Amino acid sequence: MLSVSREAKVQFMREILLRYLPQGEQTRAQRHREYRQKIISNYQPLHRELYAMHPATFFAPQFLKAINDNTEESFRSIMSEPSPGVYTFEMFQPHFCELLLHEVENFENWVNEAKFRIMRPNTMNKFGAVLDDFGLETMLDKLMEGFIRPISKVFFSEVGGSTLDSHHGFVVEYGKDRDVDLGFHVDDSEVTLNVCLGKEFSGGELFFRGTRCDKHVNTGSQSEEIFDYSHVPGKAVLHRGRHRHGARATTAGHRINLLLWCRSSIFREMKKYQKDFSSWCGECNREKNERQRMSIAATKLELLRREGESTT
């Protein structure tokens, strides 16, 4: 019997899904495939070992052990939760961070020499590169499926953490002649992995302001939702994509971060038919609790009224 590689299966499924896209989206998807193929056909990788998953040389030993044990207890043993829904942990070895920094620098040098116009990671960042576009898609797929999804299944199940099936992987750059800061926003993801790769820098803190659904994205924050985080090279931050956040100004040096936006097509389809997001939206949860409080208060008043009537 013929065996089919995992990459071939993924490509086959993507081609099937593309057939059901509207014509305009099909055209954009086709153009992006051609754009990506043009890069991969011409760009010569500097560190080919990055393009396949090598857990023993990529990850910190304690992180790898926790993943292999694959229990909530093992995950919590390596994590801190300094603010509700924000998890931090040592993830990558310094050597991996160095290799990826060199690879990104090599890619940017090739872009400048070839005068090749590249797509930036998103509409907010004017600097940085999409890692998927120059050959790292398969490695990042394995990173999501084998290492982020098991954790997300435990901590973010209510937003599709157990069904993550696609990603957008990129690096962002902050500092002199780069982006300086990043405004208040939510990510186009269900779960976001954010890892500082280096280099030396000051400032650039992440600030978090609570998780919100589309309806409540611009509502105020409660005091317990306000949290600032200072980046440490090699250390990961994991949070819901709908957790509102931004980045303060990098005041000195040069900071580069790896971002992996992890998405669940199943969760996104189910969300279309849902109206109650109180399991993860802070404002929905407050409104639900307020309705319950008012209902209980009304019931007590009614019972007191009846008791008063019965005594008279």
Asked if residues 262 and 236 have their Cβ atoms less than 8 Å apart, the reply is no
- Identify the sign of the CA torsion 51, 53, 56, 58: positive
What distances in angstroms separate CA 200 from CA 16, 28, 91, 129, 246, one per listed residue?
45, 38, 19, 20, 20
pLDDT in tens, 68-102: 999 999 999 999 999 999 999 999 999 999 999 99
What pTM does this model have? 0.86
pLDDT at 8: 62
The mean pLDDT of 191-204, rounded to a whole number, is 93
pLDDT at 15: 60
Share of the chain above pLDDT 70, in %: 91
Q: Cα–Cα distance between 253 and 81 in angstroms, integer?
A: 28
Phi, psi dihedral angles at 79 (to 5 degrees): -110, 155
pLDDT in tens, 8-56: 655 565 565 555 556 666 787 888 889 889 999 999 999 999 999 999 9
pLDDT at 1: 45
- Which domains are assigned to the chain? 43-265 (2.60.120.620)
Q: What is the mean pLDDT of the chain?
A: 90
pLDDT at 64: 97
More confident: 309 or 237: 237
pLDDT at 121: 81
pLDDT in tens, 228-260: 999 999 999 999 999 999 999 999 999 999 999
Radius of gyration of the chain (CA): 23
